[in-house]
Amino acid sequence: MTDTQPKPALTVAGRSAIGYAIKMVEAAGIGSATATVHYMPDSISDAVRAIETPVDVDFYVEVEQLGTSGSAAAAVRERCGADVDEIVILSGDGVCDYDLRPILAYHRRVGADATIVMAESDTPELYGNVELAPDGGGKCGRVVGFVEKPKGKRPPALVNTGIYVLSRRVMDAIPYGESDFARDIFPAMMARGGVINAIAGSGYWCDIGSPEALRRANFDAAKNMIRGVGAKISPTGAIAASSSHVGMGSRTPGSVLYPDVTVGVDSVVTDSILCRGVTVGDRAIVGKNCVFGECAVIASGAVVPDGSRIPAGTVIGATRFEMA
């Protein structure tokens, strides 16, 4: 899916992931933002131009990948004047509707060098976990440690969303080159006695780093779980773009159909993602948790097994398709 579209440009309920970030900036009354881009920058700039917002968005293009903190620090040096003393870092790989204003107020009140925004997750083993001092009440407080993607299934816990509020002196101290906030910068700050706090955000957050998460987020929008957007489940059971078409007798339960998708008659597509321009013929059966890249074609009568990943432009004939 990301062979033809970077994650920040992927859409949930018709809005790109980077669009959700910019709308958070807008709601907080912040007038400008810089997007650091490396992979497929034109697609990301197209996604930004599609957003109706008063926020002035410009771009810092990484010639080489610098990591989360390396790229942010480079952009701050190049784009921010000396009067900017506070930096908000947002992730373009997630869908989030948090109100940044109470987060900024907390950061200023506690006088932290850095504030990490957390989310409650049922799958904390997939993310960096944040350990807080016991005097913070569980939802906010001083950070005492990090556990990066702990092994084994864990009970629900607070995880790092990749959203940060940082003082300018923290950003200016990051050396040029590749580095990561969670892996490099925050542990080094703690070792030097720096003050890092964390607070749980209020609202919706979903890292769309997997197809299942992207599909779930689209259906969460249909449940009115994401502020500012909505989605409707079609009569055939999908979240479907208005330019998609599903033929008579076909069913698409739990699926996401992006623009210009066509599904023929008497076909079944279950819990799958069909990217822009995909065509499914008549009487085809698509198993669960499949992903079809842009303009893939599934012939009439084809059977595609569960979990298939079909690259963009692939043509599947009228036989049972097996993954290599």
Q: Can you list the domains of the chain with their CATH numbers? A: 7-222 (3.90.550.10), 233-324 (2.160.10.10)
Cβ–Cβ < 8 Å for 72, 27? no
90 vs 87: CA distance, rounded Å: 10
| Residue keyed to tokens 């890249």 | 293
| Cβ within 8 Å of residue 63, ≥6 positions away | none
What integer pLDDT is reported at residue 322 of this predicted model?
Answer: 58
What integer pLDDT is reported at residue 155 of this predicted model?
Answer: 78
84 vs 139: CA distance, rounded Å: 28
What integer pLDDT is reported at residue 139 of this predicted model?
Answer: 87
Q: Alpha-carbon torsion 75, 81, 85, 88, what sign?
A: negative
> In this structure, which amino acid lies at residue 275?
C
What integer pLDDT is reported at residue 254 of this predicted model?
Answer: 98
What integer pLDDT is reported at residue 148 of this predicted model?
Answer: 79
Cα-Cα-Cα-Cα dihedral of 49, 97, 29, 166, to 10°?
Answer: -100
What integer pLDDT is reported at residue 226 of this predicted model?
Answer: 97
What integer pLDDT is reported at residue 324 of this predicted model?
Answer: 52
Q: In a structure prediction context, what are the per-residue pLDDT tens digits for the chain, which is 324 residues long?
A: 788 889 999 999 999 999 999 999 999 999 999 999 999 999 999 999 999 999 999 999 999 999 999 999 999 999 998 889 999 999 988 999 999 999 999 999 999 999 999 999 998 888 988 989 887 667 899 999 888 787 777 778 899 999 999 999 999 999 999 999 999 999 999 999 989 999 999 999 999 989 999 999 999 999 999 999 989 999 999 999 999 999 999 999 999 999 999 999 999 999 999 999 999 999 999 999 999 999 999 999 999 999 999 999 999 987 655 555
Question: Going by DSSP bridges, is the β-strand pair 56-61/86-89 parallel, antiparallel, or unpaired?
Answer: unpaired
Q: How many CB atoms lie within 10 A of CB 63?
A: 7
The H-assigned helical ranges of the chain are 17-27, 41-49, 67-79, 100-110, 168-172, 186-191, 211-222
What integer pLDDT is reported at residue 77 of this predicted model?
Answer: 93
